[in-house]
Amino acid sequence: MGTENTLLAVHKTPEAKAWFAHHARFQMHHTPTQASWLSQVGLFFSILARQFLKDGIFSSKQELIDGILAYIARYNETSKPFRWTYDADPLRA
């Protein structure tokens, strides 16, 4: 079994199938292993967490929301598209 099939197999176990059968509001959505847009979203959330959330202290949910929106506005002033560098060669450890 290839690596990709092995990674997906965890969602096909009897335990996982039973859990999803009892939690109908959740659905599995499989995306390509190297889905670039997901990687870029994850990268942005990593930046947000390190630069804004890590040391933040927020006295209310609204303060957090306002802070995130202000951070995104500042970030967008100088942002550039993430450069995708994956060349489809298997990653080496």
Does residue 23 form part of some domain? no
Q: What is the mean pLDDT of residues 3-20?
A: 71
Task: Identify whether 54 is part of a domain.
Answer: yes
- As for how many domains the chain has, the answer is 1
Q: In the structure encoding, which two tokens stand for residue 27, read together?
A: 């659905």
**Is residue 2 domain-resident?**
no
Q: pLDDT tens-digit profile of 25-51?
A: 988 777 666 666 677 788 889 999 999
Model confidence at 17: pLDDT above 60 = yes
Mean pLDDT to the nearest integer, 47-61: 94
Task: Specify the higher pLDDT residue, 82 or 19.
Answer: 19
Residue 53, judged by CB atoms within 10 A of its CB (0-12, 13-18, 19+), counts as middle
Q: Does some domain include residue 6? A: no
Q: State the residue range of the domain holding 65.
A: 32-85
Predicted pLDDT at 33: 64
Quote the tokens at residue 60: 């209310």
Q: Is residue 17 part of a domain?
A: no
- Asked if pLDDT for residue 56 goes beyond 70, the answer is yes
